[in-house]
């Protein structure tokens, strides 16, 4: 079993028996997609809610929820997944620092990312079947393509599979 | 690829290094006053790095760190972070309180880390503000103890609007003494891409692009 790793604003698609992981999600979101028949799974590490926030015309599609989620779906379909079977799970979207630190819009980026990923999935008609979002702690996530389970690890917390 | 970062030559990097030295030097002497020990400052480095390399540079995405974070606005804007490894954070708490933190970090321990970060960041901001002749408006510093990747990626999100890389000014701030051995505290300064032009203009340095 191989393990693919995606960094910030990156996406990857793998198939059974491999897994795909991203480390240290804070306010970012790891959006995982899975087709349980072909056992194809994908993960994108989204950093910001909307490409309308981009100050440049060219940007990395994986960076924003509204472009990163469609990018991952596209990669899944190209790899042979069936859109009718693809389901999604998301994790991350924490608020790493307590409010009161000023610049509240920046500090609330985690919850905004969560909402934006959900909206992007809904727009594409991909059902969101599980999530582990919010809170104020970092998360490492891994999607296993043998089972479609999405594992979440955090410092000082029990490992969790959704 | 996005290209919102200014292009910097060797002279620009020298100027930024000097800004970093002035800020970090003042931070180190303030910390020395707080701890009553010598505090070493390592020469400041200025690097332009993709986000994922910044996370690796800070010790790896999953490495637990204590970080005090401040966002500053005003004539120039950006993020500043004081990051120390968890072992060094424990040693720092022990040095200040005399108590051993064996069952996680106590409330008192969090206060020590918060206060240390406040002093480091506050004194760095003051020195930079004097040097640049700008009023900088820092937010109230906040503390988090968690994975380095989770903390850094959050602090890069504003820069992410313009680029996939950040220009980082990095200084090592290490309190000396046996009680504080192991690892170095780091002061990361991450100006927003739009702020470089103003910073250089204030210092009489030209920048193109």
Per-residue pLDDT of chain B (209 residues; tens, 9 = 90+): 445 677 788 888 888 899 899 999 999 899 888 888 888 888 788 988 899 998 888 888 999 999 999 999 888 899 999 998 888 888 888 888 887 767 778 888 899 999 999 999 999 999 989 998 888 888 889 999 999 999 998 889 888 888 888 888 888 887 765 455 556 788 899 999 888 888 888 888 877 65
Q: Which of A6, A11, A28, A71 is catalytic?
A: A28
Tokens of B84: 């120390």
CB of A76 closer than 8 Å to CB of A42:
yes
Residue of chain A minimizing CA distance to B65: A155
Residue of chain B minimizing CA distance to A141: B62
Burial readout B135-154 (b: 16 or more C-beta within 10 A, e: otherwise): ebebbebbbbbbbbbbbbbb
Size of interface A-B (CB pairs under 8 A): 127
CB of B101 closer than 8 Å to CB of B109:
yes
Pairing of strands B136-138, B39-50: unpaired
Rounded to whole angstroms, how far apart are CA atoms A11 and A20? 10
Name which of A10, A45, A55 to mutate to probe chain B: the one with the most chain B Cβ atoms within 10 A of its Cβ: A55
| Structural element, H or E, at residue B187 | strand B185-191
Q: Under an 8 A CB cutoff, do B70 and A26 touch?
A: no
Omega before A20 within 30 of 0, i.e. cis:
no
Structural domains of chain B sorted by starting position, each given as residue range(s) with its CATH number in brackets: 10-202 (3.40.1550.10)
Task: Answer whether B74 touches A (CB < 8 Å).
Answer: no
Rounded to whole angstroms, how far apart are CA atoms B91 and B154? 26
Tokens of B50: 């993709």
A24: nearest CB among B4, B62, B141: B62
C-alpha distance from B137 to closest chain A C-alpha (Å): 10
C-alpha distance from A74 to closest chain B C-alpha (Å): 19
Tokens of A55: 């100050």
A26: nearest CB among B140, B151, B158: B151
Q: Under an 8 A CB cutoff, do B162 and A54 touch?
A: yes
Burial readout A128-153 (b: 16 or more C-beta within 10 A, e: otherwise): eeebbbeeebbbbbbbbbeebbbbbb
Q: Is A36 helix (H, G, I), strand (E, B) or coil?
A: coil
Q: Is A28 a catalytic residue?
A: yes
ipTM of the shown complex: 0.86
CB of B132 closer than 8 Å to CB of B76:
yes
Positions of E strands within chain A: 3-5, 11-15, 19-25, 29-35, 40-46, 87-92, 128-133, 139-144, 150-153, 160-161
Pairing of strands B78-85, B142-147: unpaired
B162: nearest CB among A56, A102, A109: A56
What does the pLDDT read at residue B174? Answer: 78
pLDDT per position in chain A (162 positions), as tens?
789 999 999 999 999 999 999 999 999 999 999 999 999 999 999 999 999 888 888 889 999 999 999 999 999 999 999 999 999 999 999 998 875 444 455 568 899 999 999 999 999 999 999 999 999 999 999 999 999 999 999 998 899 999
Tens of pLDDT along A140-160? 999 999 999 999 999 988 999
What does the pLDDT read at residue A100? Answer: 47
Burial readout A15-45 (b: 16 or more C-beta within 10 A, e: otherwise): bbebbbbbbbbbbbbbbbbbbeebbbbbbbb
Structural domains of chain A sorted by starting position, each given as residue range(s) with its CATH number in brackets: 3-161 (3.30.1330.200)
Q: Which residues of A touch B154 (CB under 8 A)?
A: 26-28, 96-97, 109-110
Rounded to whole angstroms, how far apart are CA atoms B160 and B154? 10
C-alpha distance from A101 to closest chain B C-alpha (Å): 5
Q: Which residues of B touch A58 (CB under 8 A)?
A: 1-3
Q: Under an 8 A CB cutoff, do B150 and A97 touch?
A: no
Q: Which residues of B touch A7 (CB under 8 A)?
A: 51-52, 55
Radius of gyration of chain A from its Cα atoms, rounded to whole angstroms: 15
Task: Answer whether B57 touches A (CB < 8 Å).
Answer: no
Query: How crowded is residue A125: how many other Cβ atoms within 10 Å of its Cβ?
Result: 10
Residue of chain A minimizing CA distance to B165: A8
Contacts of B85 (CB under 8 A, 6+ apart): B59, B63, B64, B65, B66, B182, B183
């Amino acid at each position: 079993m191989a393990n693919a790793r995606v960094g910030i604003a990156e996406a990857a698609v793998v198939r059974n028996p491999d897994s795909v992981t991203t480390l240290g999600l804070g306010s970012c979101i790891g959006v995982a997609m899975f087709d349980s028949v072909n056992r194809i799974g994908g993960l994108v590490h989204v950093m910001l809610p909307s490409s309308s926030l981009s100050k440049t015309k060219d940007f990395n599609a994986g960076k924003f929820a509204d472009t990163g989620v469609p990018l991952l779906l596209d990669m899944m379909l190209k790899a042979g997944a069936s859109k009718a079977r693809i389901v999604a799970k998301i994790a991350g979207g924490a608020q790493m620092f307590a409010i009161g630190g000023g610049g509240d819009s920046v500090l609330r980026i985690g919850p905004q990312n969560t909402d934006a990923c959900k909206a992007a999935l809904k727009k594409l008609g991909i059902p969101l079947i599980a999530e582990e979002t919010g809170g104020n702690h970092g998360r490492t996530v891994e999607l296993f393509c043998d089972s479609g389970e999405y594992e979440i690890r955090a410092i000082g917390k029990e490992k969790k599979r959704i | 690829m996005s290209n919102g970062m200014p292009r910097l030559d060797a002279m620009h990097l020298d100027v930024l290094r000097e800004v970093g030295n002035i800020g970090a030097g003042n931070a180190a002497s303030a910390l020395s006053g707080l701890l009553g020990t010598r505090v070493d400052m390592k020469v400041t480095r200025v690097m332009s790095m993709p986000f994922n390399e910044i996370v690796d540079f800070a010790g790896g995405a999953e490495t637990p760190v204590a970080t005090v974070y401040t966002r500053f606005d005003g004539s120039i804007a950006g993020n500043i972070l004081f990051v120390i490894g968890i072992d060094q954070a424990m040693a720092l708490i022990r040095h200040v309180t005399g108590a051993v933190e064996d069952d996680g970090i106590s409330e008192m321990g969090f206060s020590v880390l918060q206060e240390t970060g406040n002093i480091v960041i506050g004194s760095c901001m003051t020195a930079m503000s004097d040097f640049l002749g700008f009023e900088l408006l820092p937010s109230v510093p906040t503390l988090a103890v968690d994975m380095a990747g989770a903390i850094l990626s959050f602090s890069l999100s504003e820069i992410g609007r313009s680029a996939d890389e950040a220009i980082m000014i990095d200084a090592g701030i290490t309190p000396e003494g046996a009680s504080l051995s192991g690892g170095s505290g780091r002061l990361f300064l991450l100006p927003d891409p739009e702020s470089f032009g103003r910073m250089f203009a204030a210092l009489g340095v030209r920048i193109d692009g």
